[in-house]
Amino acid sequence: MSNEALDRYLSGLVPQNRKVKRLARRLRWRPETAVERIKRALPAPVEQQIYLDVAADFGLLPESMAKLLRFFMGEEELDAEDMDFHSIGENLVASKFAEFAEFLRECLHLLKVVAQEYSSFSLTIEHAAVIVKHYGVDEPELLIEMIDGNLEELCELLGVSNERAYSQRMRLCIWIVVTKVIPANKAEGRPDILDISDILRSDSSRRRELRRLLLEEVPDYLSADSHELGTHPSLNLLKKTGII
């Protein structure tokens, strides 16, 4: 094998690739396991290489990278042409890869901020994507800060007991804002939330609707005791959405 061919081999998605080995050490996988997981989650070669370039530094799972890519790109996969810059106007150029790279950087930054400053709960990759997509790159963590600063009032509005653990209350309130309030605002042409008081000032019908949505998605969760919760059918939904 020539030196050029060897370089191509070692830079591909193979267990011998230095980036694959580094990622495997970070995630405590075998290199072969890392290759299998990456191929399954990210079939497109360009997306595989982008993942390898950033994953080891952040401990990002290939499945999480796939969620961010599909959220941003839809079913379209990044390819080599997306790496090129194209003119979009006078003195303006852009590329899909550059746009995704900025989105990815902000999502990872938001997850890092939450992990460092709010250690008692974690933000799901899907919620991070929605927040960054709607609030842009200018400090999307402000939404988390606003919810944290108004947590008791939000829980009262939603009918959530403030005696519940802080982590559960934060996850529930973030979940309702990200999955219900933001999409409803977009569908109805209302501006995105700039201040949690926008929700706290909701009229009675809006408050009832938010409570109904919460109870529909998480039936009996807030009133169930530990034994009931262990066998409750909503448990899988709670785990899936990252609430518990």
Delimit the domains of the chain by residue range.
122-244
Cα–Cα distance between 31 and 160 in angstroms, integer? 45
Per-residue pLDDT tens over the stretch 46-88: 899 889 988 878 888 999 999 999 999 998 888 888 777 766 6
- The answer to whether the beta carbons of residues 67 and 129 sit under 8 Å apart is yes
Confidence (pLDDT) at 112: 87
- Closest among 136, 199, 202 to 173, alpha carbons compared: 199
Q: Which residue has the higher pLDDT, 76 or 139?
A: 76
Mean pLDDT of the chain: 77
Confidence (pLDDT) at 67: 94
Cα–Cα distance between 13 and 44 in angstroms, integer? 11
Cα–Cα distance between 22 and 98 in angstroms, integer? 25
Question: What backbone torsions phi and psi does residue 24 show, to the nearest 5 degrees?
Answer: -60, -40
| Residue 152, pLDDT above cutoff 60 | yes
Instruction: Report the percent of the chain where pLDDT is more than 90.
Output: 21
Strand 92-94 relative to strand 86-89: parallel, antiparallel, unpaired?
A: antiparallel
